[in-house]
Structure 1
Amino acid sequence: MFLGIDLGTGSCKALLLSSGGTVVSEASQAYPVNAPKPGWAESDPENWWQAVGEAARRAVKGHADKVLAVGLSGQMHGVVLVDANGSPLRPAILWADGRATQELQALEALPDRLRHRLANPPAVGMAAASLLWLKTHEEALYQKARWALQPKDWLRLWLTGEAHSEPSDASGTFLYDLLADTWAFEVMEALGLRPDLFPPLVGSAEIAGYLGPEAARHLGLPTGIPVAAGAADTAAALLGCGLKLGEAQLTVGSGAQLTVLLAEAKVDPTLRTHLFRAALPGQWYAMAAIQNAGLALEWVRALLGLNWEQAYQEAQSVAPGCEGLTFLPYLTGERTPHLDPLARGVWAGLGRHHQRGHLMRAALEGVAFSLRDGLEALGEAVAPHSPLRLAGGGSTHPFWQQMLADVLGCPLQPNPIPSASGKGAAVLAARAIGTTVHTPPSPLPTSMTPSGISYHEHYLRFKHLYKQLTDWFRM
C-alpha cells in the first residue's frame, strides 16, 4: 500500500492506496488560515504538522506494516522560511496572500527574454514576490534563513531531514526556467535574491529521503519508509484522476484551476495564463488560475448566515441574472485573466427588491463568470465546447454544476475521484519504488450538459463592471 498526503490550504488529507489502485482509507484534518493584516494569508506550519499526524494515523490505522512508500502533494506558490534545522522562522506566506503588490514591479521589469523562459505572468502570492517582500520588510529573518521552501517541501524536510524541491512546485515560484527545466539563477540574480535559499531539484516520482524515527511515530508508520518528492496539488490531481494529454479539467476548491495537459511546453504569448511542469517527465499543463472561487462563496455563505443546503435552495429561487444584481468575487485580487492584485469584491445593482437569495445566486454567478473568463483566456489550448472534467470539493452540488455547464457552454464530466491530489501523491510514492499502480478504469458519471439557459448578457455585464471599476480599485 502507498500513503498519499495532500497539504491543502485549509486542511490536510491522507489517502491509503492499494497496489491495485483502490482507495483503502482516507482521513482529513483542518487547520486555520490567518489574516493578521488585511489582504494577508498565513498559516502556522506547526498546525500543518499536527494535522498531518492526525490524518495519517487515522488513514493507516490497521495497515501501517503494509505501507511501502509515502508521497506528497501540496498547495502551490507559498513560502516557508526556515533555519538550518528546518524550523520555521515565521508563519508561512500562502498563495492567497496579497501583500507583495509593490514587489510585482521588479518582476514585471525583468527582460522579456527572461520572462518568456519563466513562461508565467507574475502574481502576488508567488514565491518570488513574497521573498522580495521578506527581503525588504523582514531582512533579519531573510538573511538568517537557510531555505525558502514550498509548503509540501517543508513537510518533506520534516519527514526525512532532507531539503529538496521538484519541478511541478518549482515552476510555480516565478524562479524556474520552464524551457531548461531548472532553477532560473539568472532571474534570482536580476532580482537580488539569494540562490542558496533554493534546494536541489529531484523528479516528482523519485525517492527524496526516508522517514526518520520521530516523523515515523508521528505518522504511525515504521521508520525508514521511502518518501517520494511528490508534486504540486494540481499536478498531483491531474495524475490521480487519470487526465490524458489534450484533455482539460476544471477544479473548484478555495481557488479554481482550468487546466489542459500538454506534451510540449507551449508558452502563452500574452502571458495571461500559466504554464507549469506536470508530475510526470515530458509533460506540462497550461492553466488559468482563478484565485477566488470557494474562498469567495464560503465568505458570502457565512456572511448571509446560511448553511450550504440553504444557500443553494435560496439561490435556486432566483432567476438567472438576479434581477440586475452582479457580483465581482475578487476578494483577494485576481490572477487569470486580469493579473490584478488590487481588484476587490463588489455587489453592484442592489435594489430594495433584492433579498438574500439574490445575493447568494449573484455570488455563484460571479464565480462562474470568472471561470468563463479563465476558459476564454486559455484560447486554442481548449477546443470550443469540448467536455471538461470537473473536480474538487467545491463542485459537487447539481444546481452549481448545471450553472457552470450553462455559463461555460460545455459539458462537464464530474470526476469520480474526490481526493485526486492525495491519490496522485500515492501514485508517485509507488513509482518512486518502481511499482506501477494498476488503476481500474472508473465509469465516469453522466455529463452535465448545457440546458439552453443563456447567461451571455449577464456575463457581458460582469465583464463591463470590472472594466468600469479598475481605476476605482486603485484609488
Structure 2
Amino acid sequence: MQVAGIDIGTTSIALVIASDKGETVSAATKANDAALPSERSWEHAQEPERIVALVRELIADSAPYWDEAAAIGISCQMHGVLYVNREGCSVSPLYTWQDGRADLPMARGDGTYAEQLGRLSGHAVSAGYGLATHYYNQLNGEVPKDAAYLCTIGDYVAMRLTGSAAPRMDASNAAALGLFSNRLLAFDLSALARAGIDASLLPPVCKGDGILGTTPDGKPVACAIGDNQASFIGAVPRLEGTLLVNVGTGSQMSVYVPRQEEVAGLETRPFPGGGFLLVGAPLSGGKSYALLERFFKAACRAFADVDLDDADIYERMNALAGEALDDGLGQLRFATQFYGTRHDPLVLGHVAGIGPANFTPGHFAAGVLGGIVDELLGYVHLLPGRLLGGVTNAAGSGNGIRRNPVLQRLLREHLNLPLQLAETQEEAAFGAAAYAAAASGAFPDLNAAMAAMKKG
C-alpha cells in the first residue's frame, strides 16, 4: 500500500508518497510563492487559491504514483487562519503565523490586541495565533461579510481535495489558533464568549478516525494536522523517549507525553491520535541566520558591487563558522530574539563578549548559530527532571539543521545526546502520510504505523 503526505509550509510545499514499509516512492517540492504584497509592514498574508494550485501541480507532477495512493494526509504551517464562505471557498487571504496585527496597540490604551484578548479570555495568546488575528479583524471591520468559518490552510486544502463545503479541524491545529481547552479537546466556549468572539465561525474538531472525506476517485483524506506534530511523527523513531529539535524558518523543541502535562514556559499541544507534545517555540531559528546572510550579502553589494548567490553565501558562512569554533578565541554570545518573543514583541536581540579577536564574519556566523541553540536549550531546561530523564536521544528535522553541519555539531555538544537526522528529507509530509495510514485503518494506531514505516 502507498499513502500520500502533503506539507504546506510558509516558504515551500512538499508532497511525499510512501509505502507502508516506509520507502519514499516519490517526493516533490515547490516554492510557496503565494505571498501577497502589503503596504502594512506588520501584515503577512498569502493567497489560498495559489496554494491550492501549487498542491494540484505537485499532484500532477507525482503521477502515476499519486494514482496508487490509498490515503492522503496533510500538515500545514500552524497558527495561521483564513475565512471561507458557505460554499467552502476562500473569501480572505491566509493570515500566516508571522502576521503581526495582534501586536498593534489598541486605540483605548488597553495594550495590544493580543494582550487584551488574553485578559478577556484567560488564555495566553500571541500575535500570529489565528484567534488573535481574528480578534483584530473583528474589532476593525476586516472579517469578510460572507465568512461562514475560519480555518487553517491545511483544512482548506483538505476541503478542496474532497469537495467539502465546511471545514473540520484536528485538535493539533485547533489548539494552535488559541482559546482551546486541552482538557476538553475543544474550543473554550466560555472564553470565546468573554472575548465577544462568535463561536459559530469555528469548525467542529475532528473526532473518531479523523477522516474529513474522500477525493472524487475515492481516496480518504485525513483532517489536516499541525506541522510540528507531523514533523515529530516523521522524524522520531518512536513517540516516547526522543527530543525533537526542528529548525526551519522558526524553531521548536518538542517532547511527547501520553497525558496532559502543564509545564511553565512550555506549550502543551494536542497530538494526533492521542497524547500531547510539550513544545518550546522561539520565533528565531532559520530566519535569524537568514538575517545575517542578508547582512553579508548587502555588505558584498555595497563595498564590492558583487551580488552573490544565496546558496554560496550560506556555504561560506557555514565554513567560516566551523573554523571559528575550531579557533576558539572566546565565542560571541548572541541573543537571537531579533524578532521579539511570543510573549513580548519588544524584546530584541543583542551580542556580548565581542572583542578584536572575534570581530570576524566567522565568529558572527558561529555566534548566531550558538544563539539559536541557546534559545532552544532554554526551553529544554524547563522540562521537569522526571521527563528529561526519560529522554535518551534527540532527533533533528528541518532544513535549517539538515543543511548546516555546524548547527548539528552545536546541538550535539550542547544537548549531550546522540542527534539523529530523519532519513526522509520532508519530515512533515512523511509524518502526514504515516498519520493518514493510521487514520484510514491501514494500521491499528499511529504507533503501529510509525513502527512499520521506518522512514526509509
| Residue of 69, 72, 75 corresponding to 2:71 | 69
For the pair 1:105 / 2:115, whether they are aligned, the reply is: yes
In structure 1, how many angstroms separate the alpha carbons of the residues matched to 2:189 and 2:145? 18
| Residue of 244, 258, 263 corresponding to 2:258 | 263
Name the stretch that deviates more: 158-167 or 324-333: 324-333
Distance change >3 Å, CA 443–CA 231, structure 1 → 2: closer
Shift of 1:25: 0.6
In structure 2, how many angstroms separate the alpha carbons of the residues matched to 1:441 and 1:228? 18
**Amino acid corresponding to residue 209 of structure 1 in structure 2:** G
| Residue of 141, 148, 151 corresponding to 2:150 | 148
Structure 2 residue aligned with 1:371: 376
In structure 1, how many angstroms separate the alpha carbons of the residues matched to 2:178 and 2:329? 39
For the pair 1:402 / 2:404, whether they are aligned, the reply is: no
Shift of 1:384: 8.7
Structure 1 residue aligned with 2:60: 57
Shift of 1:258: 0.8
For the pair 1:87 / 2:89, whether they are aligned, the reply is: yes
In structure 2, how many angstroms separate the alpha carbons of the residues matched to 1:442 and 1:434? 18
Distance change >3 Å, CA 379–CA 122, structure 1 → 2: farther
Shift of 1:432: 3.1
Distance change >3 Å, CA 317–CA 107, structure 1 → 2: same
- What pairs up with 1:99-178 in 2 under 5 angstroms? 99-101=101-103, 102-110=112-120, 115=123, 121-137=124-140, 139-162=141-164, 163-178=167-182
In structure 2, how many angstroms separate the alpha carbons of the residues matched to 1:174 and 1:104? 11
**Amino acid corresponding to residue 340 of structure 1 in structure 2:** D
In structure 2, the gaps of 5 or more residues are 104-111, 298-311, 444-448
Give the count of matched residue pairs.
419
Structure 2 residue aligned with 1:428: 435
Contact 1:20 1:438 in 2 (8 A): no
Shift of 1:192: 0.8
**Amino acid corresponding to residue 403 of structure 1 in structure 2:** L
Structure 2 residue aligned with 1:392: 398
Distance change >3 Å, CA 207–CA 295, structure 1 → 2: same
Contact 1:261 1:285 in 2 (8 A): yes
Distance change >3 Å, CA 438–CA 231, structure 1 → 2: closer
In structure 1, how many angstroms separate the alpha carbons of the residues matched to 2:433 and 2:354? 48
For the pair 1:285 / 2:287, whether they are aligned, the reply is: no
Name the stretch that deviates more: 293-302 or 80-89: 80-89
Structure 1 residue aligned with 2:303: none
- What pairs up with 1:73-472 in 2 under 5 angstroms? 73-101=75-103, 102-110=112-120, 115=123, 121-137=124-140, 139-162=141-164, 163-203=167-207, 205-212=209-216, 223-241=217-235, 242-268=237-263, 270=264, 272-281=265-274, 283-305=275-297, 307-319=313-325, 323=330, 325-335=332-342, 339-347=343-351, 354-380=359-385, 381-383=387-389, 386-396=392-402, 397-436=404-443, 437=449, 440=452, 442=454
In structure 2, how many angstroms separate the alpha carbons of the residues matched to 1:201 and 1:233? 17
What does the per-residue CA deviation read over 1:185-215, in whole Å, with 9 as the maximum and x for residues that have no partner? 1111111111111112214842211224xxx
Contact 2:117 2:125 in 1 (8 A): yes
Shift of 1:273: 0.9
What does the per-residue CA deviation read over 1:215-269, in whole Å, with 9 as the maximum and x for residues that have no partner? xxxxxxxx3322111311111222233432243211111111111111110122x
Distance change >3 Å, CA 324–CA 438, structure 1 → 2: closer
Given the two structures, how large is their TM-score scaled by the length of structure 1?
0.81
Shift of 1:323: 4.7
**Amino acid corresponding to residue 31 of structure 1 in structure 2:** N
In structure 1, the gaps of 5 or more residues are 116-120, 213-222, 445-475
3-state SS, counterpart of residue 85 of structure 1? coil
**Amino acid corresponding to residue 250 of structure 1 in structure 2:** V
Distance change >3 Å, CA 82–CA 226, structure 1 → 2: same
Shift of 1:127: 1.4
Shift of 1:303: 2.5
Distance change >3 Å, CA 410–CA 246, structure 1 → 2: closer
Distance change >3 Å, CA 31–CA 177, structure 1 → 2: same
In structure 1, how many angstroms separate the alpha carbons of the residues matched to 2:329 and 2:344? 26
3-state SS, counterpart of residue 273 of structure 2? coil
- What pairs up with 1:7-86 in 2 under 5 angstroms? 7-32=8-33, 33=35, 36=38, 37-59=40-62, 61-86=63-88
In structure 2, how many angstroms separate the alpha carbons of the residues matched to 1:442 and 1:62? 23
Distance change >3 Å, CA 155–CA 328, structure 1 → 2: same
Distance change >3 Å, CA 230–CA 46, structure 1 → 2: closer
Distance change >3 Å, CA 205–CA 65, structure 1 → 2: same
Aligned-residue Cα RMSD (Å) equals: 2.6
In structure 1, how many angstroms separate the alpha carbons of the residues matched to 2:238 and 2:340? 30
Name the stretch that deviates more: 353-362 or 247-256: 353-362
Contact 1:227 1:429 in 2 (8 A): yes
**Amino acid corresponding to residue 312 of structure 1 in structure 2:** N
What does the per-residue CA deviation read over 1:373-415, in whole Å, with 9 as the maximum and x for residues that have no partner? 1212334332398432222221123322111222334332323
Contact 1:73 1:236 in 2 (8 A): yes
In structure 2, how many angstroms separate the alpha carbons of the residues matched to 1:19 and 1:184? 37
